Chains A and B, each alone.
Chain A
Amino acid sequence: MADYTSDEMMTIAAARMVRNGTSCFVGIGLPSAAANLARLTHAPDTILIYESGTIGTKPNVLPLSIGDGELAETADTVVGIVEIFNYWLMGGKISLGFLGAAQIDKFANINSTVIGPYDKPKVRLPGAGGAPAIAASCGEVLITLRHSSKAFVEKLDFRTSGGHMEGGDSRAKMRFPGKGPTAVITDLGVLTPDPETKELVLTNVHPDVTAEQVSAATGWKLRVASDLRISPLPTANELQVLRDLNERTAKAHAGQA
């Protein structure tokens, strides 16, 4: 068996999606890990932007919160909230948005608000934050989350941020500036929207994962690409850099950081 975890594979697969030199608006958690791994491996000129207003930040450890001091100290510039959302995000300056989610549907709409009914939630999540604006305004959007039938659902409990809406041309009709989600990266594989219907199709499985496994972990009848590919194995360098980053991070957040 391979000597890496499925979480490591997910972060590495997600990191590989980031092209060098891209301006990338990053959510906290899994997206932040993947975007920083990209910056520390194949994409050193990636411009990372967090919604706390830090632009061009190069953190040495992953932030615990969106506004950690580390992000400000290593940034090219720090701007206020009104400026980051109005001028930078709504202003169309950001090529790539990188989001996490608690739930996702087949058109890559996502939920980060509640599990269960809004007024009597089973799980109350933090809410929208910057996600709807990121989903609407970035040139394109990557989404990363762990694969399970609880997360990949036929119908979201709450639509926090719009992906491809009801599929087909329904997003295009809303005339958002960005083209929406272009890939969903999980611990099992990669899904990409069909160019016409916009329904997510399984296009990659990670090594040692079968399409049946992914289908079983998906709450709708999953379409599988006829030319299903296998993600390349993590390289020794990718694993080393990711593990060093995680180790530095854990150490930094144990007490003050």
Chain B
Amino acid sequence: MPAKILPLTDAISQFVRDGDTIALEGFTHLIPYAAGHEIIRQKRRKLTLIRLTPDVLYDQMIGAGCVKGLRFSWGGNPGVGSLHRLRDAVEKGWPNPIELEEHEHAGMAVAYAAGASHLPFGILRGYSGTDLAPHTTVKFIECPFTGEKLAAVKAIRPDVTVIHAQKADRQGNVLMWGIVGAQKEAIMAAERAIVTVEEVVDKLDAPPNSVILPGWILSAVSHVPRGAFPSYAHGYYKRNNAFYKKWDAVSKDRDSFLAWIDKHIMQTKNFDEFLTMVEA
């Protein structure tokens, strides 16, 4: 059955539910901002977020009260500093407490691969000799063949994964390129999957071995041009570093953060309106 090409509002309302474990993946590139904003707009609550590199989008979702937990391996505003809303939630329980499960990238990577393979855990040489182990859910096992001590990390199986990509065709087959992070694994590991894309075309015209997510494994594909702003989409637009730098001041203070969310997300109808507003 071909994936449904749906407006983003419908994709989020149909496939993202309160209490879900959700990965909005992306490694600096192709961060699904439009989808994250729509989740805030639709007031989803008690989500457990997963991502290797939570950045400004997760800061927005946490501060907006959508989140009860976060599994991650590097949290920050890249090149700028801390995520103030994440810190406020962890250290002062505002707007609500959130629980952290902190990992290293290599551990998150094998956990996604295990999730995509429907295996219970991923294995790696990692976590030992660090203070991470006592603060996270990792166990050490012996290799049944050599006796080597290895770390086992519980598989990631999101209820729903959301990513942004460059192109889809009208059947909902999705093509992405550039820095592709853990997006394919995150999609394959999830129960439901939503992809927003820069453009919908008649034919993808991709060479064999391209990163293609066939429409039949996806729940919905939504056409959202510039849906990764202020991150970037390789071949379409560059990263808006100025936005990331400005976010530091906006997010430092609860009131200025709330005013920003209200004006830019709650009072806008969709991502297009938001883009018009920030570029005015």
Instruction: Indicate with 1 or 0, residue by residue over A174-195, a CB within 8 angstroms of chain B CB atoms.
Output: 1111000000000000000000
Please classify the interface of chain B as helix (H, G, I), strand (E, B), loop, or mixed, using the class held by over half of its residues.
loop
* Least distance between A67 CB and chain B CB atoms (Å): 3
Residues in A with CB closer than 8 Å to B29 are 52, 67, 69, 72
Residues in A with CB closer than 8 Å to B227 are none
Residues of B108-145 at the interface with A, using a CB-CB cut-off of 8 Å, are 108-110, 112-113, 124-132, 135
Choice from A78, A128, A253 contacting B132 with Cβ under 8 Å: A128
Number of interface residues of A (CB under 8 A): 57
Instruction: Indicate with 1 or 0, residue by residue over B66-93, a CB within 8 angstroms of chain A CB atoms.
Output: 0000001111101100100001001100
Among the stretches A119-127, A141-149, A211-219, the one at the interface with B is A119-127
> Does B79 lie within 8 Å of A65, measured CB to CB?
yes
The verdict on A60 contacting chain B, using a C-beta distance below 8 Å, is no
* Least distance between B275 CB and chain A CB atoms (Å): 14
**Whole-angstrom distance between the alpha carbons of A155 and B167 in the complex?**
50
Choice from A52, A136, A177, A257 contacting B239 with Cβ under 8 Å: A257
Residues of B225-254 at the interface with A, using a CB-CB cut-off of 8 Å, are 232, 234, 238-242, 244
Interface residues on B, range: 35 or more
Residues in A with CB closer than 8 Å to B125 are 90, 133, 136-137, 176-177
> Does B73 lie within 8 Å of A129, measured CB to CB?
yes
**Whole-angstrom distance between the alpha carbons of A158 and B78 in the complex?**
21
Closest Cβ neighbor of B116 among chain A residues = A82
Choice from B72, B129, B179, B242 contacting A127 with Cβ under 8 Å: B72
The verdict on B105 contacting chain A, using a C-beta distance below 8 Å, is yes
Among the stretches B10-18, B36-44, B180-188, B213-221, the one at the interface with A is B180-188
Choice from B73, B76, B232 contacting A69 with Cβ under 8 Å: B232
> Does A81 lie within 8 Å of B242, measured CB to CB?
no
> Does B148 lie within 8 Å of A255, measured CB to CB?
no
In order of increasing CB-CB distance, the 7 nearest A-B pairs are: A67-B28, A162-B129, A65-B78, A126-B76, A64-B79, A129-B74, A133-B106
11 CB-based A-B contacts, threshold 8 Å: A72-B29, A80-B211, A85-B105, A85-B109, A86-B109, A86-B124, A128-B130, A136-B129, A159-B129, A256-B238, A256-B240
